[in-house]
């Protein structure tokens, strides 16, 4: 009787590749969540600092850019871009970032930290429609449903939409902040693959400084030592480190996933205002926060399973 040998294809390489993808996905999720925690706490600086929102934004990058340059120099990372046209691209991204930050702090100063954070959280809806258009990715109705449910949570936390009060004006600035952040997120997704996350952050922050400086310097903002210290903390920890982590996370997870995780920002921010500012949320805020948190958790689990 003739023996028949059965060739068994080894599965180790396949399993190893799957494990690598899972590990990369987990790292991306952790980076996104920690970055969003820092983003949420950054909103409080809009109350602690009495400067104009554009001055706060310029202060952020004034400390963030030297910090990133120092880190990249120590790690011997490349600073110059590969092509001249990329300088124009990053200048465009910096303009969008400058508008985003100005609108964000304007929203908080006109209303409250909670309103500013939660209206900014409308950006997952914008991402859902911008990403298929700009990145030519597949359009999924599931993402629209998730975005709409997230918006429902935001609407629960912001009870007053009357155009006759200052809170509503702050909310409109918050929506503009969300729109510009969505555009920035999608454009980062398009261009980030070619450059390391720190290099992307460096050029965006530097471009934002170039845009803001000619406007802010003539205003002659008054800077005392406490304000400078707050700007340094905001620029190094809550800007340089946070944005680098968030951009890095989008190399490993979808922009829609990162955007819905970022919906946790108002939850973190509101919890911080309770502890540090004494602003206690009502029942609607708690219900809205629960909806946002549930969506962020569900999307994280879905992306991890994929």
* Residue 2 belongs to some domain of the structure: no
* Residue 254 belongs to some domain of the structure: yes
pLDDT of residue 232: 96
- CA gap 158, 285 in Å, rounded: 7
- CA gap 125, 118 in Å, rounded: 13
- CA gap 156, 151 in Å, rounded: 9
pLDDT of residue 206: 96
- CA gap 253, 250 in Å, rounded: 5
* Residue 267 belongs to some domain of the structure: yes
Q: What mean pLDDT value characterizes the chain?
A: 83
* Residue 14 belongs to some domain of the structure: no
- CA gap 22, 24 in Å, rounded: 5
pLDDT of residue 56: 97
Instruction: Specify the range with the lowest mean pLDDT, choosing from 7-21, 77-91, 250-264, 283-297.
Output: 7-21
Q: How confident is the model at residue 229 (pLDDT cuts 50, 70, 90)?
A: very high
* 104 close to 120: Cβ distance less than 8 angstroms: yes
* Residue 172 belongs to some domain of the structure: yes
Q: How confident is the model at residue 279 (pLDDT cuts 50, 70, 90)?
A: confident
As a whole-number percent, the residues of the chain with pLDDT over 90 amount to: 32
* Residue 202 belongs to some domain of the structure: yes
238 lies in which domain range? 29-305
- CA gap 59, 53 in Å, rounded: 10
| 17 vs 276: which has the higher pLDDT | 276
Task: Kindly report each contact of residues 240-243 with a partner whose C-beta sits within 8 Å and lies 24 or more positions away, as own/partner.
Answer: 240/63, 240/64, 240/67, 240/68, 240/71, 240/201, 240/205, 241/38, 242/35, 242/38, 242/39, 242/42, 243/35, 243/64, 243/201, 243/204, 243/205
DSSP 8: P
* 107 close to 115: Cβ distance less than 8 angstroms: yes
pLDDT tens, residue by residue, 113-165: 888 887 787 777 787 778 788 877 777 778 788 888 888 887 777 766 777 77
* Residue 18 belongs to some domain of the structure: no
Number of domains observed in the structure of the chain: 1
pLDDT of residue 226: 93
- CA gap 16, 12 in Å, rounded: 6
* Residue 7 belongs to some domain of the structure: no
Structure tokens at 250: 């989008």
User: How much is the average pLDDT of 39-47?
Assistant: 91
- CA gap 125, 144 in Å, rounded: 7
* 268 close to 40: Cβ distance less than 8 angstroms: yes
């Amino acid at each position: 009787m003739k023996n028949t040998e059965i060739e068994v294809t080894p599965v180790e390489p396949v399993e190893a590749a799957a494990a690598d993808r899972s590990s990369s996905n987990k790292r991306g999720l952790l980076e996104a969540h920690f970055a969003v925690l820092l983003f949420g706490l950054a909103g409080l600086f809009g109350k602690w600092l009495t400067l104009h929102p554009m001055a706060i934004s310029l202060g952020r990058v004034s400390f963030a850019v030297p910090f990133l340059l120092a880190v990249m120099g120590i790690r011997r990372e490349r600073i110059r871009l590969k092509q001249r046209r990329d300088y124009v691209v990053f200048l465009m991204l910096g303009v969008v970032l400058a508008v985003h930050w100005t609108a964000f702090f304007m929203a908080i100063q006109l209303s409250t930290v909670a309103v500013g954070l939660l209206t900014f959280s409308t950006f997952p809806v914008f991402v859902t429609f911008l990403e298929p258009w700009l990145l030519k990715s597949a359009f999924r109705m599931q993402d629209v449903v998730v975005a709409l449910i997230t918006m429902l949570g935001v609407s629960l936390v912001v009870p007053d939409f009357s155009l006759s009060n200052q809170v509503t004006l702050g909310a409109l600035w918050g929506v503009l902040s969300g729109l510009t952040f969505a555009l920035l997120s999608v454009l980062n997704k398009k261009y980030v693959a070619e450059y390391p996350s720190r290099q992307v952050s460096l050029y965006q922050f530097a471009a934002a400084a170039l845009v803001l400086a000619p406007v802010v310097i003539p205003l002659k903002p008054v800077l005392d030592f406490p304000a400078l210290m707050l700007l340094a903390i905001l620029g190094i920890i809550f800007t340089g480190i946070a944005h680098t982590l968030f951009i890095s996370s989008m190399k490993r997870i979808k922009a829609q996933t990162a955007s819905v995780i970022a919906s946790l920002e108002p939850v973190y921010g509101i919890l911080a205002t309770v502890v540090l500012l004494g602003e206690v949320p009502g029942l609607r805020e708690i219900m809205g926060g629960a909806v946002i948190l549930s969506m962020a958790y569900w999307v994280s689990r879905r992306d991890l399973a994929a």
